[in-house]
Amino acid sequence: MSVWAVLVAAGRGERLGEDRPKAFVRLGDLPLLAEPLRRLDESGWIDQIVLVAPPEWEEPAILLAEEIGASKVSACVPGGETRTESVRAGVAEVPEDAAVIVVHDAARPLVSEEVILRVIAALGEGFDGAVPGLPLTDTVKRLREGVVVETVPRDELVTVQTPQAFVAPVLRAALTALRVESTQSPTDCASIVEANGGRIKVVDGDEKLLKVTNRADLERVASWLVSDTSSS
């Protein structure tokens, strides 16, 4: 059974507001992309990796993979205008006989072996996909034009992260179906599979899978990285 990772790193990083794409902003001693790439490469659960780079940054991405000794990168392709288009470009490079596709945001550098195992293991229970989720701590309200319509029961809600694992043909079929009937831009892959009737399990997420969106997130992840490195 082969497990392919699609690492999406093609975003512009507009909210971070640096002079380069988020994947190439410095985190510790290297561009941010190095951390999630190294972690996926070292994972015992991942066989091959497709890297989705910002358009015109494919070569620096390949050089970075070489620099850190990542040996599982099978292809590096340019991403698209939206996250979904970037996922599509990555999935297109995964061979037909792959069993599982794990999609991960490069913007979540601190992916761990434990969470990769949790999402992949859930597929063995018969789910089409699995995502890491965290409980909410704040109260959540639904609004219409700034006025509260309802307070949503918090125990029914989670926030979800990546890595997200899917039965490969199920993800492919969902991406194809989306192309036909929708123009909206989903923010994760599970919602694409859900929309096509797939059953998704939520497993325990990890606070350290924080998505780097702004400067404060970057600093937080950088501080976790320092404490990780010094404790190992």
Q: How far is the CB of 149 from ligand CTP (least distance, A)?
A: 27
Round to whole Å and give the CA distance between 178 and 182: 5
Round to whole Å and give the CA distance between 103 and 5: 6
Three-class secondary structure of residue 217 per DSSP: helix
Binding site for ligand CTP (CB under 6 A): 8-15, 22-23, 52, 79-83, 86, 105-107, 211, 213
Of the pair 107, 165, the CB lying nearest ligand CTP is at 107
If one counts every other C-beta atom within 10 angstroms of the C-beta of residue 179, the result is: 11
Of the pair 47, 85, the CB lying nearest Mg ion is at 85
Q: How far is the CB of 10 from ligand CTP (least distance, A)?
A: 3
Nearest residue to ligand CTP, using CB?
11
Token pair 């494919």 is found at: 58
Intra-chain end-to-end CA distance of the chain, in Å: 31
Of the pair 81, 150, the CB lying nearest ligand CTP is at 81
Q: How far is the CB of 55 from Mg ion (least distance, A)?
A: 15
Of the pair 82, 99, the CB lying nearest ligand CTP is at 82
Q: Which stretch binds Mg ion (CB under 5 A): 7-15, 87-95, 129-137, 202-210?
A: 7-15
Residue 15, token pair as written in the block: 């909210």
Report yes or no: 1 and 99 within 8 Å, Cβ to Cβ: yes
